[in-house]
Structure 1
Amino acid sequence: MKQCSEVDFEVRWLPFQLDPAASEKASSRMEAYAKKFGKGKEEVKQMGAWMKSKFDAAELPYNFTESALVSNTFDAHRVLTAAYKHGGAAAQDKAAEALFHSYFAKEKAPNDPEELKEAAKAAGLDATALMDKSYVASETQEEMKVGKKLGVRGVPHFVIRTEGSRSEEISGAQPSEAFLSVFQSMTR
């Protein structure tokens, strides 16, 4: 559990694919973003510089060069599903950290087999089992239905629930004050 003032909470990562039809074959992130956002290469580089400033402010590593890759994210989601299933929220956080570092700092594709193995190892999983594409695939597909049911259209998307049935949602990258406000309103 993580602490936030007098509020205890657990983070649970659920899968959501921005582009479920994305290719399994790794390709240029620069080109993919240019196509997705209808921008030229220089504009995409400016977007990358803006993202870097946000990461720098949070003291997190971020690189976005011509070498950056993108691919289908389903296998990365399988790692997160397996991590939670076998080790709970703490294991899943370790896998998520490894995957984010791989993508944002090392510029690797989300389905890079070596990076998936590293994320699995970080979570205390048998990395060999994850090389079987069917491993926790049905569970991951089931979890994806949650985002669809909620009408999620982008990431990040947060659902904050109390132990009862009360919940609030926050969409998009938001300042910490937005979360504190929700936490305070839900503990009253």
Structure 2
Amino acid sequence: MSKTLHIDIVSDVMCPWCIIGYRQLSKALDAAGTDHEIHWHPFELNPQMPPEGQNTREHIMEKYGSTPEQSEQSRQQMKALAGALGFDFNWTKDSRMHNTFNTHQLLHWANTQGRMHDLKMALFTAHFTDQRNLSDDAVLADVAAEIGLDRAEAAAVLDDQRFANDVRSAERFWQQQGISGVPAVVFNRKHLVTGAQGVENYTNILSQLAEMEG
């Protein structure tokens, strides 16, 4: 019987390359028929982001020193890559980046319900496709309810911050492993691959892992 491939993915739902990379990896996994299990882990791209968030274009230009033209070119490149993988980026001039500490707490809770992956996908869509405000706890609770989780419980989790320490601890753990950017994908707890690698590269990686494990 083939061994299940353990995949840890450290990511943030504000990160466009995280959903692109995941879709690429998913396509490679499907094509290879690899038996696998995915575990998501928290990383905050902008832990100092204020509650009201920041305009995405302003933020990118400020953080990376890019010009408006470079920023737009990068967005179009990501939009095309994502579109080919069946995911829609619908950026507007008013799109915003948000603080995701509460988002990660909600994901931690969803994991206790066996629904972390589903919620992660729903949050990527809420942010990038639907341009919803993930700084708003009511919106986060709504997204949880839309995939069948208990809205009142989701709201309570965000209100009392019961998983705040767990999330901080998990973030520290991955930082101590040397993770400073996302997406970071770890196969079988020992092979680290960073960035969105593309379907072909992920396919090659899966093939190499299969040979090593074989």
TM-score range, shorter chain: 0.7 to 0.9
Aligned to 1:182: 205
Q: How many pairs are equivalent?
A: 181
The question of 1:152 aligning with 2:176 is answered no
**Partner SS, residue 169 of structure 1:** strand
Counterpart of 2:41 (choices 14, 21, 28) is 14
TM-score (norm 1): 0.85
When the two chains are superposed, the root-mean-square deviation of aligned CA atoms in Å is: 2.1
Higher relative contact order (CA 8 A, sep 6+): 2
SS in structure 1 of the partner of residue 70 of structure 2: helix
Identity of aligned residues (%): 25
**Corresponding residue of 2:149:** 124
Residue in structure 1 matching 2:132, options 101, 108, 115: 108
Matches within 5 A, 1:36-185: 36-87=63-114, 91-121=115-145, 122=147, 124-125=149-150, 126-161=153-188, 167-185=190-208
Amino acid at match of 1:124: L
Question: In structure 1, what is the Cα distance between the partners aligned to 2:168 and 2:148?
Answer: 20
Contact 1:81 1:136 in 2 (8 A): yes
| Letter matched to residue 200 of structure 2 | E
For residue 111 of structure 1, report the CA deviation from its aligned partner: 2.2
* Ranges in structure 1 where 5+ consecutive residues have no aligned partner: none
**2:40 aligns to what SS in structure 1?**
coil
Map Cα deviations across residues 81-129 of structure 1 (whole Å, 9 max, x no partner).
1111222xxx111111111011111223432323311332226242222
44 and 100 in structure 1: CA distance in 2 versus 1, 3 angstrom threshold: same
- Match of 1:28, as an amino acid? N
Q: Partners of 1:175 and 1:102 in 2: how far apart?
A: 24
TM-score of the superposed pair, with normalisation by structure 2 = 0.76
Which consecutive unaligned segments of at least 5 residues does structure 2 have? 5-25
